[in-house]
Amino acid sequence: MSGPHNGPTVLLLRLAGPLQAWGSRSAFNRRETGAEPTKSGVIGLLAAAAGYARDDSLDELLPLRLGVRVDQPGTLLRDYHTVSDYRGRPLPQSGVTAKGVQKPTAPAKHTHVTTRYYLQDAVFLAAVTGPYDLLRALDQAVRTPAFPLALGRRSCPPTQPISLGLRDGDLEDALREEPWQASARARKQYARQWGRERGHDGPLYPARVDRSVTVEDPEGNDVLHDAPVSFDPHARRFTSRRVRHGWLSIPTDFPPPPADPNQFDLKQSSSGSQGNPADGAASAGHDPFALLGW
């Protein structure tokens, strides 16, 4: 895409990694994750890529409209953590004194158990639409980020590529026409299950598959409180947005099956490993998570 640009533009992001955590709420010693990326998480990733400071204004990013497609839902992981005071002091409790000072635990406790939840082996396609010049700058920023990028929490690095480039058209069309981004292993499992369900001796490779989507829509029938107003650690604020949920039939990008189904290889057909050459997508290069099967 070069020169004057008219019409809607969409930036596509492939959000995949061993672990993801998209928390829309937290409680004392418990950090949960949603089933799919939040707007605060996606905006935070873009802001980090573009070099925003934590207290910078988000006025340019907040109006971006977001859609999320669940290509591989993953599974929920419960992680075990403990926390203690390195000075050896008893840990405080949640209650406070009349002067607003946190009370010590009684009897004294030196270790708390905290619970954290993650999504493991999940893959999402996030689509962001807005002004062309802004999306083009964000596309380049994601490819060469100013700060390390994470999938919700700092302990959740993404696999590559993240940006799949820019697409012409509206948000829903981009989510509908981009090939399935699931891992090769998940795609093979789906083909085997598809064949079994239809009484076939081997795997079957359908041309399209249904996947759930959540699209930001002022007329949507659901409300999510995950739109960031400020990431300032001293004044974090969020607001609500309306969304609608649905399903889209998307291309699987399976190649034609060979005569011998056992020789079917999805590695070369995995659309998650390549961007759109027309958009100047860079080669994925070295991927430290390749040994994990991504």
Q: Which residues partner with 31 through β-bridges?
A: 26, 116
Report if residue 2 sits inside a domain: no
Report if residue 261 sits inside a domain: yes
Domain count, the chain: 1
The dihedrals phi and psi of 27, each to the nearest 5 degrees, come to -125, 170
- Helix (H) or strand (E) run with residue 242 in it: strand 237-251
Report if residue 65 sits inside a domain: yes
12 CB-near residues (< 8 Å, 6+ apart): 125, 126, 127, 163, 164, 165, 166, 167, 174, 178
Report if residue 292 sits inside a domain: no
Per-residue pLDDT of the chain (294 residues; tens, 9 = 90+): 544 567 789 999 999 999 999 986 666 667 888 899 999 999 999 999 999 999 899 999 999 999 999 999 999 999 888 777 767 778 787 778 888 888 887 788 777 788 889 999 999 999 999 999 999 999 999 999 999 999 999 999 999 999 999 999 999 999 999 999 999 999 999 999 999 998 888 899 999 999 999 999 999 999 999 999 989 888 888 999 999 999 999 999 887 666 665 555 555 454 444 333 333 333 334 455 554 544
- pLDDT score, position 255: 74
Report if residue 4 sits inside a domain: no
Q: Which residues partner with 209 through β-bridges?
A: 250
What sections of the chain are H helices per DSSP?
A: 39-50, 132-143, 171-177, 184-197
Report if residue 3 sits inside a domain: no
Q: Which domain holds residue 70?
A: 9-286
- pLDDT score, position 94: 73
Indicate the pTM of the whole model. 0.79
Alpha carbon distance 90, 103 (integer Å) = 10
Report if residue 30 sits inside a domain: yes
Alpha carbon distance 49, 69 (integer Å) = 22
Of 240, 236, 237, 238, nearest in space to 216 by CA: 240
Report if residue 164 sits inside a domain: yes
Alpha carbon distance 273, 52 (integer Å) = 28
What CATH number does residue 207 fall under?
3.30.70.2660
